[in-house]
Amino acid sequence: MENIYTKFNLIDIDQIAPLYLNYFNEVENASWTLETVKRKFKQLLHREDVLAFKLENKCNIIGFFIGQLVQFDDGLVFELLELLVFKEHQNQGYGSMLLLKAIEDAKKEGAFMIQLTSAVDEEHYHFYNTKHGFSDATNNIWKTKIF
């Protein structure tokens, strides 16, 4: 069976949330709960102008992306909010497939640019900057404050 893309909808949350939780808690040493993962997905999928797809093969979910088209004065920008390939499928080209699908779909919807927030590490730098030609933005910076 070949790889297929299907829309990632609210009905998929119960299937994908445990996979997401296990990945981030086991691989990334996070502390998600099933409730917090489901809440996150509901928040992402309820946004206006969402593009979200999962990649499957032989009834297994390989990974997914979720993003949103955001209007700026000079046009539509696609903000990639989540892109994840589950550990057992990493380093096989699936992340690139998902990223290229996201870009293709965003272009079809009228976006002229993609932007995203990434972890600051060599793996993410290699994937986005080296492999896919992204550059680090210099016009904006994330600001945070813990309260």
Closest CA to 61 of 70, 69, 52: 52
- Interhelix angle 13-26/34-45, nearest 10 degrees: 120
- Stated pTM of the model: 0.92
CA distance 146 to 133: 33
Domains of the chain, each with CATH number or no CATH: 4-131 (3.40.630.30)
CA distance 25 to 31: 6
Dump pLDDT digits (tens) for 9-20. 999 999 999 999
Is residue 146 pLDDT above 80, yes or no? yes
CA distance 34 to 11: 15
Dump pLDDT digits (tens) for 1-47. 588 999 999 999 999 999 999 999 999 999 999 999 999 999 999 99
